[in-house]
Amino acid sequence: MFCTKCGKEITDGVKFCSHCGAEVNSAKPAAAPAPKPAAPAVPAQMPGHDLAVASLCCSIGSLTVFPIVLGIVGIILGCVAKSQGYKGSLATAGIICGIISIILPIIGIICYLLFMFFLASAL
Ligand SMILES: [Zn+2]
């Protein structure tokens, strides 16, 4: 350990510094501060993690099974997850997939309508 007054190295356990004679505290001030046990307790999951997972599941379900409606649910769940402090990419992925799952069928419907329109005008 090191003397708190002169900073020189002294033997562990001694009461007085052998260099300057100052009383040595048992607590080591030069050592790193004691870790705070409760303060930075890392949570097992980020807040909103479940919602973010649900958001991505809904959006993927919207892309594959039930378009638009599940996509809207996925976007809402993703936004709620973000508002709860979720910082991961799952919520963003859920929102993006949800938007894609809504846009794709709309584009498909528009293409279908345009195709039918041109087909009807050609006849
Ligand atoms: Zn000293």
More confident residue, 35 or 55: 55
Task: HSE, CB side, 13 Å, CA atoms: give it for residue 33.
Answer: 2
Query: At 118, is the pLDDT very low, low, confident or very high (cuts 50, 70, 90)?
Result: very high
Residue 112 alpha carbon to ligand 1 centre in Å: 87
Residue 90 alpha carbon to ligand 1 centre in Å: 56
Q: Are 38 and 64 in contact (CB under 8 A)?
A: no
User: Where along the chain do its domains lie?
Assistant: 49-122
Q: Are 3 and 24 in contact (CB under 8 A)?
A: yes
Residue 19 alpha carbon to ligand 1 centre in Å: 5
Q: Please, what is the Cα angle at 109 between 103 and 110, to 5 degrees?
A: 85
Name the percent of the chain in helix, strand, coil, to the closest 5.
55, 5, 45
Can you give the pTM of this predicted structure? 0.53
Q: Are 81 and 122 in contact (CB under 8 A)?
A: no
Residue 67 alpha carbon to ligand 1 centre in Å: 75
Residue 15 alpha carbon to ligand 1 centre in Å: 11
| Ion ligand 1 residue ranges (Cβ < 5 Å) | 3, 5-6, 17, 19-20, 22
Q: Using a pLDDT cut of 70, give the percent of the chain over it.
A: 84
Q: What is the mean pLDDT of the chain?
A: 81
Residue 35 alpha carbon to ligand 1 centre in Å: 27
